[in-house]
Chain A
Amino acid sequence: MRPTRSRSLRRVVAACGALVLAAALQSVATAAPTPVTPPQMPGAAPLFGPLADAGVAVETVSTLKTVPDVAVPGKPVTITGAGLPKSKDVRLVWMTANVRWVLDPKADSVDYIGRKVDKIGVALANTQTDASGAFKASFRVPKDFGGLHDIFAVVDGKQVAKGGFLLERTVRMTPTRGPVGTPIKVTVVGMGSPTYESVGAVLYDNKFAGAISANTTRGVSVFTIRASGGVGTHWIEVAGSSHTVPYLNMQQSPVPWTDGHRLAFRITADKGAPKPSVEQPKAVTATIAERTTLQNANLAAGAAASAQLSSTSGPILSKTTLSAGGLSAGQPYVVQWASVVGNRVNCTGQCWNFVNEVVGNGVAGADGTARADIKIPDGLGGWHAVQVVQGGQVKAQTSYFVKRTFVSIPKTVKAGRPFIVELKGVGWTQLDNTVAVTYDNAYVGYACGFNSNGYVRIQLFATGNKGTHLIDLYPLLYTQQPAYPYPQLGMVPLLGFAMDAPGLGAGYDLPAFRLAIKVV
């Protein structure tokens, strides 16, 4: 039957309305950014004082004198005010921020969204004005984010005076000389909380090595790179950056104090290629349980069973034992390993799917318990759900983290010849699907493990003079497919992975691999 005009119109209206409704519902259902509470990080200073209300601004505000007003943490500072309300209690409030990474943990992945900055005031000192309305107080520069900090004198809830302070950025390294491959520990203090002060770009002899941050470590970044190149002096620069690479005229920017710090390292000898090694991130306790892969999803309604693993992380092919309780007594069960198959390349829709692999089975005891030895499959790394299934229903599940592992690299390669570096257990989320590769501290590219089920063969070429050349593999934040607005640190080596990385709060222990070849 041919539709009439009014019937067609109704259909159009209905379709448009449905689209509007669908769009509205989708906007609620899509990305759920989750600020991640920073884990307790060894070496990171806690907030130095109690939160304090900074009061309300007033039209006529006095100024405070802070001497010195540019210094590093720990230095004594004197702050004075005059012309203020007489004989009044004064609260001095230091303005700073708390910074958290933001993730979107989904059932089948984890997306890296960025970071969230919450401005806060911290009580610096309490004092009183004298009969003339003046005061003098002192404090030590707190261990805090670098950059500018406003200081308010608050009287009766009002900002009666305003001061300011610049917490300086410093960069130190140790040692300053040694043979090729010497690990160089670089400590940066005073990285800022605002976007354009929160990233440092690291150059080695003007080659981009990667980026650092100090979002969850209150401005402190400690990282290691290795001495590469010939005998002689080499320059390491920690440059100001907004997102990844150096901002080369930072001195003309509104944040000139983030400009580069340059340090010299002297290579004394080439004593041969150092053995492969792994640098793990700091051991911390995850702060969120929503990791990935069906965590707390797909459980049968009313399921009261529980499951635990004797170990919750390890490389592929390692073994763990599952213990379950609360199952249907005397009924068969299977243990499923949940993973995904697919990739992000040219992804425009549903680009990967869940798959299950049976890794154990048996019959639940008369008390409803079960025990199964599990061998971790040779596949994708990262967090996987381990599910106990009875009668086609998921009765219990827990999770296991598959660590990425180094497999091989040749010891010697002829100049100009290709060679392969192999890894296994590379994951698929935006936190762990990729490794960033540097060659003699120059970022050369990345390698992804999603489409190859966790097995990565990195194709490289041996270049440079005869002798030792270093290959370092770092964690990388994958910021494509899907891409979110304004994320920092995407697609480059995350040199500060050991202390400040978005995955640490979600239990993603992602190491750096320190490798080398001898070019002959």
Chain B
Amino acid sequence: MRRPLVLLGFVAAVIALVVPAAVQAAGPTKLDAFIYVDTVNGTRPTGAKPRPIGCTQSNVFTRGEQMVFRVWGTDAATGDVLSTENVSDGYVTFPGMANQKLNWGAHGATSNRVWFWTAPVNIPADFPLGTGTARVVFKTDDGKTGTYDYQFTIVPALKAVTKPKAKLASRAANR
């Protein structure tokens, strides 16, 4: 009676060990570069009212706002930070636009400067609503390429909701 029990346990343990290993075998694709991308709202949009707080991370914008790409990259083999020292070309492809050049520079307070790549994109007034994909592309001096597809959403400027005809309470209270 004991042997079947031991055998059952052995088989189950083998299954438990082999299945995850098989899943891992596929593995990720080897990349030339690690890239981090986010976007923040520009403080001086050309076609929309500025938000109360500028330079906050968001991937949702209205037309007329400025979407600023912030990008950090690292060479996967050497660990070198991607900068003008080793990058021959860096840009963002954006639907309906020419490629937007990425600029390397320091940002932040004088006492806390941080270097990274940026590309501001002014969302045209007739840009399509909905989801879009921008591609961040780096080409290095030694022929390596790194890309990152970044998804964003364009929403209409807030429309007035159905307003009650009664006077707004806040107006009365503030008089």
Residues of A within 8 A of B (CB): 10-11, 13-18, 20-21, 24, 57, 59-66, 69-70, 95, 148-151, 162-166, 171, 233, 235, 251, 254-257, 259-264
Task: Give chain A nearest CB distance to B112 CB in angstroms.
Answer: 28
Residues of A within 8 A of B109 (CB): none
Q: Mark B1-24, 1 if CB is under 8 A from A, else 0.
A: 010011011111101100000000
Known: A63-B96, A165-B129. A16 touches B155 (CB 8 A): no
Task: Give CA–CA (A235, B162) in the complex, Å.
Answer: 12
Residues of B within 8 A of A59 (CB): 93, 135
Q: Which B residues, 33 to 64, have Cβ-Cβ distances below 8 Å to chain A? A: 60
- Picked from A20, A65, A150, A263, the residue with its CB within 8 Å of the CB of B12 is A20
Residues of B within 8 A of A65 (CB): 126, 128
**B15 contacts A20, C-beta separation under 8 Å:** yes
**B129 contacts A69, C-beta separation under 8 Å:** yes
**A164 contacts B154, C-beta separation under 8 Å:** yes
Residue of A nearest to B4 (CB): A14
**B128 contacts A66, C-beta separation under 8 Å:** yes
Residues of B within 8 A of A264 (CB): 164-165
**A21 contacts B96, C-beta separation under 8 Å:** no
**B128 contacts A164, C-beta separation under 8 Å:** yes
Task: Give chain A nearest CB distance to B125 CB in angstroms.
Answer: 11
Known: A69-B128, A162-B132. A18 touches B9 (CB 8 A): yes
Residues of A within 8 A of B11 (CB): 17, 21
Interface of B is mostly: mixed
Residues of B within 8 A of A150 (CB): 128, 130-131
Residues of A within 8 A of B93 (CB): 59-60
Task: Give chain B nearest CB distance to A247 CB in angstroms.
Answer: 13
Q: Could you pull out 29 A-B pairs where Cβ atoms are within 8 angstroms?
A: A10-B6, A10-B9, A13-B6, A13-B9, A13-B13, A14-B10, A16-B13, A17-B10, A17-B16, A21-B12, A59-B135, A63-B128, A65-B126, A69-B128, A70-B156, A95-B130, A148-B155, A149-B130, A150-B128, A151-B130, A162-B128, A163-B128, A164-B131, A165-B129, A233-B166, A255-B155, A257-B159, A259-B161, A263-B162
**A262 contacts B155, C-beta separation under 8 Å:** no
Residues of B within 8 A of A148 (CB): 129-131, 153, 155
Residues of B within 8 A of A (CB): 2, 5-6, 8-13, 15-16, 60, 93, 95-96, 126-133, 135, 153-156, 158-159, 161-166
- Picked from A20, A70, A162, A166, the residue with its CB within 8 Å of the CB of B13 is A20
Task: Give chain B nearest CB distance to A94 CB in angstroms.
Answer: 11
Task: Give chain B nearest CB distance to A215 CB in angstroms.
Answer: 21
- Picked from B13, B129, B162, B164, the residue with its CB within 8 Å of the CB of A171 is B162
Known: A165-B129, A254-B60, A262-B162. A61 touches B95 (CB 8 A): yes
Task: Give chain A nearest CB distance to B128 CB in angstroms.
Answer: 4
**B128 contacts A64, C-beta separation under 8 Å:** yes
Task: Give chain A nearest CB distance to B68 CB in angstroms.
Answer: 18
Residues of B within 8 A of A254 (CB): 60, 153, 155
Task: Give CA–CA (A166, B60) in the complex, Å.
Answer: 15
- Count: A-B pairs, CB below 8 Å: 119
Task: Give CA–CA (A74, B98) in the complex, Å.
Answer: 35
Residues of A within 8 A of B161 (CB): 251, 259-262
Task: Give chain B nearest CB distance to A58 CB in angstroms.
Answer: 10
Residues of B within 8 A of A69 (CB): 128-129, 156
Residues of A within 8 A of B156 (CB): 69-70, 166, 257
Residue of A nearest to B161 (CB): A259
**A21 contacts B15, C-beta separation under 8 Å:** yes
Q: Given A17-B10, A63-B126, A259-B161, output 20 extra A-B contacts at Cβ < 8 Å.
A: A14-B8, A16-B12, A17-B11, A18-B8, A18-B12, A20-B12, A21-B8, A62-B96, A63-B96, A69-B156, A148-B155, A149-B130, A151-B130, A166-B156, A233-B166, A254-B60, A257-B156, A261-B162, A264-B164, A264-B165
Of A62, A164, A257, the most chain B CB neighbours within 10 A belong to A164
Residues of B within 8 A of A14 (CB): 5-6, 8-10
**B9 contacts A256, C-beta separation under 8 Å:** no
Known: A148-B153, A162-B95, A254-B155. A262 touches B9 (CB 8 A): no
Residues of A within 8 A of B128 (CB): 63-66, 69, 150-151, 162-164
Task: Give CA–CA (A261, B133) in the complex, Å.
Answer: 32
Residue of A nearest to B162 (CB): A261
Residues of B within 8 A of A149 (CB): 130
Residue of A nearest to B59 (CB): A254
Which 10 pairs, one residue from A and one from B, show the smallest C-beta to C-beta distance? Answer: A17-B9, A164-B130, A14-B9, A63-B96, A17-B12, A164-B129, A164-B128, A21-B12, A150-B130, A261-B162
Of B6, B130, B166, the most chain A CB neighbours within 10 A belong to B130
Task: Give chain A nearest CB distance to B74 CB in angstroms.
Answer: 23
**A235 contacts B164, C-beta separation under 8 Å:** yes
**B5 contacts A251, C-beta separation under 8 Å:** no
